[in-house]
A and B are shown apart, each in its own frame.
Chain A
């Protein structure tokens, strides 16, 4: 095929509405969000801005609506009121055509991995590629799936395995590989380290940090894991009483006098996580001094 023929074929196969990279400062802007289930109000006047390139940790007690917030942002939960702008586009009531522009630029890791059980891990990664970029050469899709699997810290031969053949930790990584399939700018992680042993959890934290750095990601991370917060989050948003009651770095939050924040960070687990963090830092310093 000649160059012109290829260009024509590609232009014919490509779908409309896949957008350019986002250059603004805030990929996610939420204003006056209200969510409720029947008479139970989950969110009321919730405001949140996520900065480009940051890893934002979202914490809150069980039932404070962390997952609901994520579902609302990615369009799985239709809010009662308010606006949610992702990449500068309002996602609520967006037209079908506009949706692709946003959906092709984020990746979501669900709590249980939510891998398609009848597809291999490699095929799982390819699903989104086929959906949004049908013009890509099938061979290129295979190659992408292969390196995404390895990039997510899985052994190479995992690509041909089915989700049911993997352990819980590997399934999370496979979910991450699928979330990264489209080289997203925005990554949603719902409790990525829940249910992992401390070693795997720490490795997963490192992996996210490394990927966020290399791939220039903005990460929206829901977690209960204090170690994760200390290790990788640039800022932390605290959800309570249906609102984001505070956003900031952990030292900033520690100065807040909200009882929930105090209890969260100064409870036994919070203190332990902080102690291990400062221990790790002092060891780093000693190593550097020694060198």
Chain B
């Protein structure tokens, strides 16, 4: 059981005396402090002679109350006097929380900051893109500066190690398209068109789109977090001082890897989705596996494959650029790394989907519908 500090009041010839008792320590002051805060009345003298051990928190409480009441402190031991003096010298009225403006000011202020932030963001994004383009041109002119080792490593990370998860995802998506499509088409006896649906949808849209989302989640986030952490630990600054361009050493390998791997992964994903659709068609619709695959050749026009393959590298570029860009924007503390990583993924997926819509309109206009 903890021993709490307390007090008693003493009337002594018209002078009110507050006698403190118990240890005046941070561990025992809780009740006394709260009582003194709501204390009603007048005290002329604070007697500390009955009190036990004291620390700065105890000394502070006594000091504050004595000042509030204009009371004299008596009976303080040597240690208590020393602490009273120390906390008196250290007193301040500064804020603990960062200064906050009032709501009427804060709302327009934040709106304004957001707008200006957008403008600055667009400029920075353009600046960053320019930096990457200039860096790439430099590498094109001096191919020996291309970091082959780093590119191979990124190819492995972005592409090869994603094969498992993308394969599984695509297989399941193929199953869902075929199964749901069949359920609807069956109503007017057109189950056979399940093959067209699965083949064209996965080739044109879903294979590439889902792969881009997966790559954004796996690699875009990794780019932002890696580069962001390197910025925090001043690795990027160290690179610059040695004369190594971070664009060449960090961005280009990642961007090249993503641009190169996206078409391969997207095509792979479409293939697996078709296999998934064929599997479920074999099991539930009575369409033999090999027939399904043969029909795919007949019903999927070649330009569907091209649509997917043209979109894929663009999506890869967007994912890699946003990842690297957000990573480079990290400054200050570790919380920022998480924030920027999230932003990289969200922005990349958003832009990929917006662009996909544009592509859909574009390709149908040029007659690849």
Nearest CB of chain B from residue A115's CB, rounded to whole Å: 10
A6, B34: Cβ atoms under 8 Å? yes
A135, B30: Cβ atoms under 8 Å? yes
Chain A residues 120-165 with CB under 8 Å of chain B are 120, 122-123, 126, 129, 132-133, 135-137, 139-140, 142-151, 156-164
**Given A10-B34, A135-B31, CB of A160 within 8 Å of CB of B97:** yes
Give Cα A11–Cα B27 distance, bound, in whole angstroms. Answer: 12
Give Cα A214–Cα B83 distance, bound, in whole angstroms. Answer: 7
Chain A residues bordering chain B, tally (CB within 8 A): 52
B94 partner residues in chain A, CB cutoff 8 A: 122, 146, 149, 156-160
A136, B30: Cβ atoms under 8 Å? yes
Identify B55's interface contact among A13, A158, A215, CB under 8 A.
A215
Question: B219-227, B234-242, B267-275, B327-335: which lies at the A interface?
Answer: B327-335
B47 partner residues in chain A, CB cutoff 8 A: none
Give Cα A18–Cα B30 distance, bound, in whole angstroms. Answer: 13
**B90 CB–A CB distance under 8 Å:** yes
B96, A7: Cβ atoms under 8 Å? no
Nearest CB of chain A from residue B92's CB, rounded to whole Å: 3
**B53 CB–A CB distance under 8 Å:** yes
B38 partner residues in chain A, CB cutoff 8 A: 1, 6
**B102 CB–A CB distance under 8 Å:** no
CB closest chain-A residue, reference B86: A214
A122, B30: Cβ atoms under 8 Å? no
A10, B92: Cβ atoms under 8 Å? no
**A21 CB–B CB distance under 8 Å:** yes
What per-residue 1/0 map shows which CB atoms of B96-111 lie under 8 Å from chain A? 1111000000000000
Give Cα A161–Cα B333 distance, bound, in whole angstroms. Answer: 13
Identify B95's interface contact among A118, A137, A159, CB under 8 A.
A159
Give Cα A1–Cα B39 distance, bound, in whole angstroms. Answer: 10
B4, A7: Cβ atoms under 8 Å? yes
**A283 CB–B CB distance under 8 Å:** no
Give Cα A19–Cα B64 distance, bound, in whole angstroms. Answer: 26
A120, B30: Cβ atoms under 8 Å? no
A147, B60: Cβ atoms under 8 Å? yes
A120, B55: Cβ atoms under 8 Å? no
A147, B35: Cβ atoms under 8 Å? no
Chain B residues 298-341 with CB under 8 Å of chain A are 332-335
Chain B residues 51-96 with CB under 8 Å of chain A are 53, 55-57, 60-61, 64, 79, 82-83, 86-87, 89-96
**A216 CB–B CB distance under 8 Å:** yes
**A39 CB–B CB distance under 8 Å:** no
Q: Interface of B with A (CB < 8 Å)?
A: 2-4, 23, 25-27, 29-31, 33-35, 37-38, 53, 55-57, 60-61, 64, 79, 82-83, 86-87, 89-99, 332-335
Apart from A137-B34, A149-B92, 9 more pairs, CB < 8 Å? A9-B34, A104-B27, A122-B96, A122-B97, A139-B37, A146-B96, A150-B89, A159-B94, A163-B333
Which 8 residue pairs are nearest across A and B when measured between Cβ atoms? A122-B96, A156-B92, A135-B30, A117-B333, A183-B55, A150-B90, A156-B94, A151-B90
Q: Interface of A with B (CB < 8 Å)?
A: 1, 3, 6-7, 9-11, 13-14, 18-21, 104, 117-118, 120, 122-123, 126, 129, 132-133, 135-137, 139-140, 142-151, 156-164, 182-183, 214-216
A-B contact pairs, 21 of them (CB 8 A): A18-B27, A20-B23, A21-B53, A117-B333, A129-B26, A137-B30, A137-B34, A142-B96, A143-B64, A144-B57, A147-B60, A147-B92, A149-B94, A150-B90, A150-B91, A159-B92, A162-B98, A163-B333, A183-B55, A183-B56, A215-B55
